[in-house]
Amino acid sequence: MKTQLEEIIHQVYHKEKRNLFTFLTGAGISSDSGIPTYRGTDGIWVKGTRFHKPEEFGTLKYFKQHPEEVLQFSLFRKKMFEGAEPNESHFHLAEIEKMLQDRFHLITQNIDNLHRRAGNHRIYEIHGNNREIKCSNGCKEIVHLPEEIKGKNIDEDLTAKEIERLTCSHADNGCAQIFYGLMNIMMKRPIRNSVR
């Protein structure tokens, strides 16, 4: 397959009218790095968690009702990502980008940061990422997740300091922050310690 892909890239690269190359990736590319897919036999949405059903967990409604559970689970996923390393497929895409340069585009559903760690730069992260957060009320621009916010085991509670760091500095206006992908703009009130 690698030889076939190299031949296709070579043919298109040398055409008179050159095209852009766009690659699409999802959870499957990171499964070889030890990150479960969402719908596979060991998938996050198949198994769910002790606290929530997967089909309701990923919704704005659930986030508003159970913010700490969503944050806690997001920090569990963050720890999983931190322990994973890019695999051969990630590195192959980074090499293709070096060869194609500005004609390369990568669109990914993944929030695990493995494409960047492998060396890709031209990435469109359609579900966001686990490096940045944004106030749910829109009062601030996207900012980097504070370094002191670390990944957690699934059974670890959020600390008061973590809750403080994940709450927008404009919390008196009813704002807070969350960092996970599509949910990175959702929380509109300060979180309170309500889990367990």
Least confident residue range of 28-42, 53-67, 71-85: 53-67
Q: With cut-offs at 50, 70 and 90, classify the pLDDT of residue 186.
A: very low
Annotated ligand binding at 168? The verdict is: yes
Handedness of CA 142, 153, 156, 64 (dihedral sign): positive
Range picked from 70-74, 107-111, 155-159, 164-168 for highest mean pLDDT: 107-111
H helix intervals, 148-195 = 160-165
In a domain, 163, yes or no: yes
Report how far apart, in Å, the C-alpha atoms of 178 and of each of 5, 25, 60, 89, 139 are: 39, 24, 12, 30, 13
Q: Tell me what pLDDT residue 184 has.
A: 42
In a domain, 193, yes or no: no
Q: Tell me what pLDDT residue 154 has.
A: 80
Q: With cut-offs at 50, 70 and 90, classify the pLDDT of residue 46.
A: low
> Which domain range does residue 16 map to?
2-183
Q: With cut-offs at 50, 70 and 90, classify the pLDDT of residue 50.
A: low
Chain centroid to Cα 14, Å, comes to 35
Q: How long a stretch of residues is the chain?
A: 196
Instruction: Report the pLDDT averaged over residues 154-183.
Output: 67
Indicate whether 193 pLDDT > 50. no
Q: Tell me what pLDDT residue 179 has.
A: 42
Annotated ligand binding at 60? The verdict is: no
Q: Which of 136, 146, 145 is nearest to 189 (CA)?
A: 136
Annotated ligand binding at 194? The verdict is: no
Q: Which of 165, 161, 163 is nearest to 145 (CA)?
A: 165
Annotated ligand binding at 66? The verdict is: no
Indicate whether 91 pLDDT > 90. yes
Looking at the chain, the whole-number percentage of residues with pLDDT higher than 70 is 67
In a domain, 157, yes or no: yes
Q: Catalytic residue at 127?
A: yes
- How many domains is the chain built from? 1
Catalytic entry in 115, 127, 144, 170: 127
Q: Tell me what pLDDT residue 181 has.
A: 44
Residue 153's CATH number? 3.30.1600.10
**Better pLDDT: 96 or 1:** 96
In a domain, 15, yes or no: yes
